[in-house]
Structure 1
């Protein structure tokens, strides 16, 4: 009889013994017959609350300036968010001023609730209330304090009773300073909820809903953060269901969650928490936040979409959303980030390509048989959980997979020989031009030939019907934004001068072109250089499309080259304008 060998795995050299079992510390007294979340299904979207302007902004190496904060806020409004946390007004003058901007302008539609964040400290609460005074929108004042034992003892130096009194004192200050403001509601977060004793956090939350007199007319938001993920998502779901079942005044509480992503399971924690009774989810659009980030609202929302549930926020132009988020945060989305990454609809494997091709053939045949437009027919295509068109993507990256396989080599040669780094979408576009060249010649393409193809396709001369005669930048003390740009143009021989305030030079040039009837929509702009070293030229790579049409025109690419980064960018915009006209 043949023996069966058993492989015994060797112990890891990792010092795992240094870490304690977390389950015994955070588990809740929830009986099996009380646990209902495992059998529930997600059937509607929770209330989404993006915290990119506060929590996400704090996590940036370079926090957003007022222009970026406003652009991000306007993006979220355009996407349909009805509650937005806009800042931490007691933490910085920039945040305070941004809240005052909302009070003093009409950038927030009447149906958007404004959320502001404050610690449980009277002077900071006073500053927060001063910031929201005069805002006509619904307002939520969000007060927080860390409650977990390690934070309580090491950071705050308080026992349970002392900390409860600190929290209640803060709650009384909020009530005293803002209780008479009819448009204001209150939110309490026991920070590090997921590591706090269940009986203690329940006692704190019930005390706050009693103090703030939670009612149907003025419900209190109780936000239960997984500030640092330490356990599997089922544990967090149990904690949320325990709170939901045992809270006093439950009918007058909006139960909210704020998962972080330290274990990489923030999305799962949020989804299970909603199954367990949470009605509101705080997170960042693409998961930005301290350490590994906050929960990713885009992924949560599009996961619902993929299951036939309306996410109630609009991701139908995800590349526009991404370009704005990247501009505001100065961070690029990973190419394999769920839904938004450049490669999420791309197959390099031959077996994947074959299955997708057959899926498209079957999809079109079913749509034709049922007399439906392809975009309305049920979606069943291997390896593609949603139709890329749902989020504004074309099928180029899916059906042109053979050309995709060559773009990496093209980008490598140009980087090695010319020092230029191309955005992935430009790599794809350039690969199509290179493929047409190789189809025609049947020969190998050298780095010099690649550069020749690149310059022919993208670095076309900027002298055409549109010419930039000059531009000047400066400060305008009369403008709230303090910046002004004067642009001089010649279009079809007719010269004009345009002064634009509150925008950078590139945006000012786009505005000036629009004033003479040339609509250029800039989708993305990136800089690289030609050759290496301090003497290299700047190269601006501009993705754009023709603006002002009912149906979005296809995206195109141009480039500008100059010793000055700004001049290269301006040249690229003029080149785009000449293509538009």
Structure 2
């Protein structure tokens, strides 16, 4: 059957709340500044919705978690429904599981035969709440029960009288204090004037409500059948028309049929609600109850303490899911695995900038002692660390991400703050790898790709690998002095031809295509000297485009390392287009000079491609003026004059055979 083109022929709109003419609603101008009283109904309303209801052992585990979180009112059972439910209430009371400041609530229909057993289950607890309910909307009155309004009122008041009598008797017997919680089941579908009239009659029949011992009225949106603002109107009307308002607690109980239970609860509080009833993660029949985690953390993100502790939210979520045999969607508010994760490049860039700006702002608060460390972050309304999460999941990288995502991961894993143009260059590497494997690039994969790309390893990765080097200051005449133990210059704004105080000679041992070679070059500073060596000995002519420097672990001088980033290009290639004739290199070392030299080799490895290097130079080595015993055949060579070429001496006769003797001709 297709959807109707005119659904008004089948579905009726909600009825407006009959406020007097020119009435100004109060709830739109209010804001929540204090937390409500929370009632968890996970063990009853949530449990009855499960395919496989919880065992009493599982319910006990969840009850302990609810106490740990901070709930002071917990609906624990429907004692008249089964012996198992009854025994659970008795067990937690008799075994001392109920703290003195926690109230137990049980639910019972307005039936005399079930009320007595329900009240008896609570004997001996410090404070108990009787949740007495019956459906009062027209469809239930006329179709389900076939009662008139008058008959519905009579049934309700008779039940209230019985509850009053039995609770007073139980109080005299065991000392348990009881509170009446009368629930207008299907409140959201009931005429608002009728609920007010019935509520006033309940108050009168109970007869002992006071500011110190209030009656609770449960305004249940058993079926969410209208917008949240309509529910707020109903709550405000009830709140402003019920008698003895200071002796009444209005309890908000939205369901999620329209997907707006949280909004209805928030507006219901603005409209006069004092208490919220719901379940963790919104478990419940059909689409569920209001989610208490979402509601509480919404308040928390606005600076209102909810009085509930979700500091270990992941553990709480895992426990609730296990007890209820349910799963939480990855995008579920606050509790989902991906709710604090950004994959889009623009989002990642904003988050990365936000984290950097906030770190600076918070550091200034620490330094000056003024201001507060307020949270202000693009896309993330609440600090994940408050819920027991870290920041490692904030930015997730895929082929659809941008440069900021990969740069953020490198900053988190290696504490390297990549220059902006280098971020662009490295993300091309990450994107290609992500497309190749068809999966998300995890932090481990990104870090591995970074080290591989920039040859950051103690063993050769690329065609060039720097083993060791020495730098010698050269005198104006060209002579060299002793090697420098450490020499550093400011590379942050290095440009070709920059003037340094002295000329340096670089002599380095490299592995080049698997073979060790020594190269040598001169220049003003270590970078220009090693570039001269690459040009002179390998035929590799490179130009400097941009550079930057960083220090990591600055708070630990013994472990401080210098980091050099340098962009280089081949001759004739315009700088500024990473991947098109230019490439970045990275060097990390405890010595500044070494970090610079390594950065040059790192960039060179990406630019050499498959080009051939110059062969090693043939260096002339003068023949030694010392003769060894390997030349003994010379002893028998005679000159024309009759003299031997080799002149024996007294020393030779006494020295070992391998002794070097000056050659005499």
- Bin for the TM-score computed over the shorter chain: 0.5 to 0.7
DSSP 3-state at the match of 1:254:
strand
| Residue 460 of structure 2: aligned partner | none
TM-score for both structures, normalised by structure 2: 0.59
1:203 Cα deviation after fit: 1.3
DSSP 3-state at the match of 1:179:
helix
CA contact (8 A) 2:62 2:320 kept: yes
CA contact (8 A) 1:120 1:166 kept: yes
User: How far apart, in 1, do the equivalents of 2:340 and 2:128 lie?
Assistant: 40
More helix, by proportion? 1
| Residue 166 of structure 1: aligned partner | 155
User: How far apart, in 1, do the equivalents of 2:234 and 2:223 lie?
Assistant: 14
User: How far apart, in 2, do the equivalents of 1:235 and 1:172 lie?
Assistant: 33
Task: Give the number of aligned pairs.
Answer: 417
Alignment deviations for residues 257-276 of structure 1 (CA, whole Å, 9 cap, x no partner):
10001111111111111111
1:413 Cα deviation after fit: 12
Q: How does 1:159-558 map to 2 (within 5 A)?
A: 159-180=148-169, 181=171, 182-213=176-207, 214-371=209-366, 377-401=373-397, 431-435=442-446
1:69 Cα deviation after fit: 0.4
User: How far apart, in 1, do the equivalents of 2:315 and 2:249 lie?
Assistant: 32
Alignment deviations for residues 92-118 of structure 1 (CA, whole Å, 9 cap, x no partner):
222211111122011111000110000
| Residue 81 of structure 2: aligned partner | 91
CA contact (8 A) 1:30 1:238 kept: no
User: How far apart, in 1, do the equivalents of 2:344 and 2:446 lie?
Assistant: 19
1:332 Cα deviation after fit: 1.2
| Residue 50 of structure 1: aligned partner | 40
| Residue 13 of structure 2: aligned partner | 22
1:146 to 114, 135, 141: 135
CA contact (8 A) 2:17 2:237 kept: no
Pairing 1:40–2:35 present: no
1:13 Cα deviation after fit: 4.9
User: How far apart, in 1, do the equivalents of 2:363 and 2:451 lie?
Assistant: 36
Q: Which runs of 5+ in 2 are unaligned?
A: 407-429, 454-665
1:438 Cα deviation after fit: 5.3
RMSD (Å), alpha carbons: 2.9
| Residue 126 of structure 1: aligned partner | 116
Pairing 1:75–2:73 present: no
1:346 Cα deviation after fit: 0.4
| Residue 480 of structure 1: aligned partner | none
1:434 Cα deviation after fit: 4.5
Alignment deviations for residues 304-349 of structure 1 (CA, whole Å, 9 cap, x no partner):
1111111111111110110110111011111111111111100010
| Residue 55 of structure 2: aligned partner | 65
User: How far apart, in 2, do the equivalents of 1:315 and 1:273 lie?
Assistant: 23
CA contact (8 A) 2:365 2:372 kept: no
1:20 Cα deviation after fit: 3.2
Alignment deviations for residues 170-191 of structure 1 (CA, whole Å, 9 cap, x no partner):
1111112112425111110010
Moved over 6 A (4+): 403-407, 409-414
CA contact (8 A) 2:105 2:129 kept: yes
Larger Cα-atom Rg: 2
User: How far apart, in 1, do the equivalents of 2:446 and 2:297 lie?
Assistant: 34
CA contact (8 A) 1:122 1:173 kept: yes
DSSP 3-state at the match of 1:100:
helix
Answer with 332-341 or 214-223: which moved more. Answer: 214-223
1:23 Cα deviation after fit: 2.6
1:218 Cα deviation after fit: 2.2
User: How far apart, in 1, do the equivalents of 2:287 and 2:433 lie?
Assistant: 33
User: How far apart, in 2, do the equivalents of 1:164 and 1:220 lie?
Assistant: 17
User: How far apart, in 2, do the equivalents of 1:79 and 1:32 lie?
Assistant: 44
DSSP 3-state at the match of 1:77:
helix
CA distance 1:31–1:131, change in 2 (3 Å): farther
Q: Which runs of 5+ in 1 are unaligned?
A: 1-10, 417-426, 443-581
CA contact (8 A) 2:344 2:400 kept: no
1:152 Cα deviation after fit: 1.1
CA contact (8 A) 1:22 1:230 kept: no
